[in-house]
Amino acid sequence: MVDLMRRMLTVEADTFGEFVFEGAEVKLDGPVRLSPDLPPINVKQVIDRIDFAGPCGSMRFVDYKTGGDQLSAASIEAAFDRNADKRPKVLFQLMFYCLCYSELKSYSGPIQPYVYLIRTMFTDPLVPMTIGKQQIADYRDYIETFKENLTKTVNAIFDSTTRLRPGSTIRPTTVTPAPSAASRPSVHPPIKAAPCQDYISMCPIVARSVPIAISTLLLRAHSTPTAMSMP
């Protein structure tokens, strides 16, 4: 496990350079007001990891993902298009984190959203979010458009005259009958060996333990507020 963590932190050092680890599984809990016309909305969130890009740099939110999430979007509005086949849900998630953090922590500085892909942890795990093929360097460049679309969505949810319906991408559920006892194999087929990244994507326990292990290692190294860098 130590060798695994060392390899992962080496990749991070090559991508980020020097950074300050601020916290892991940071909890947000409290009321957030989207607009003067709406009552406060109680939110409860957990941000996987927060860094500072250098001792005096901007804040960075890192979210760990085990699947093949859509990491780019044509626009902020695409995150609210429930009829899109590949809606960038992670963009909505991270922008909402940034919004709630700034409101609940009274933080007005820059935040850059990042995604950590567990499947490619040894090649290119750290991927910045992009909008219109442009990297999101600061969520504040897009937050007003995000809040406008989010306010419309919340208004529709609480509007008693609006009929809520699923998006067109939701497929009807099909049920496949279970095979009879006679047709079931008496012995399980042998399990083939899989590459590390495939094994991690198949095993939720391992996939969950990886970011926790990273955070634990960083917490141990962060007993004093010093910059993290690989030798």
Residue 89 domain flag: yes
Q: What is the reported pTM?
A: 0.69
Answer whether 222's CB lies under 8 Å from 228's CB: yes
Neighbours of 209 (CB within 10 A): 14
Rounded to whole angstroms, the Cα distance separating 123 from 116 reads 11
Answer whether 24's CB lies under 8 Å from 218's CB: yes
Residue 190 domain flag: no
- What is the rounded average pLDDT of the residues 61-72? 84
pLDDT at 17: 75
Residue 83 domain flag: yes
211 by Cβ neighbours in 10 Å (0-12 / 13-18 / 19+) ranks as: buried
Residue 9 domain flag: yes
Rounded to whole angstroms, the Cα distance separating 213 from 206 reads 10
Rounded to whole angstroms, the Cα distance separating 180 from 182 reads 5
Q: Which residue has the tokens 């529709």?
A: 156
Helix ranges (DSSP H) in the chain: 2-16, 89-104, 143-158, 196-202, 204-221
- pLDDT band of residue 148 (cuts 50, 70, 90) is very high
Answer whether 51's CB lies under 8 Å from 22's CB: yes
Range picked from 34-38, 166-170, 199-203 for highest mean pLDDT? 34-38
Rounded to whole angstroms, the Cα distance separating 190 from 228 reads 44
Rounded to whole angstroms, the Cα distance separating 227 from 20 reads 5
pLDDT at 197: 40
Residue 113 domain flag: yes
pLDDT tens digit string along 104-139? Answer: 999 999 999 988 888 877 777 788 888 988 999 899
pLDDT at 229: 38
Answer whether 100's CB lies under 8 Å from 45's CB: yes
pLDDT at 167: 58
pLDDT at 47: 94
What is the number of domains present in the chain?
Answer: 1
Neighbours of 187 (CB within 10 A): 5
Residue 216 domain flag: yes
Closest CA to 121 of 223, 30, 25, 201: 201
Residue 180 domain flag: no
What phi, psi does 21 have (nearest 5°)?
-80, 120
Rounded to whole angstroms, the Cα distance separating 142 from 137 reads 10
pLDDT at 155: 87
- pLDDT band of residue 99 (cuts 50, 70, 90) is very high
pLDDT at 23: 87
pLDDT tens digit string along 168-180? Answer: 555 554 445 555 5
Higher pLDDT, 17 or 211: 17
Rounded to whole angstroms, the Cα distance separating 89 from 72 reads 10
pLDDT at 202: 38
Residue 173 domain flag: no
- What is the rounded average pLDDT of the residues 155-172? 69
Q: In the predicted model, what is the mean pLDDT of the chain?
A: 74
User: 212: domain range?
Assistant: 2-163+196-221
Count of residues making up the chain: 231
- C-alpha 71, offset from chain centre: 10
pLDDT at 212: 53
User: Would you say residue 66 has pLDDT above 50?
Assistant: yes
Higher pLDDT, 204 or 53: 53
Three-state DSSP class for residue 120: helix
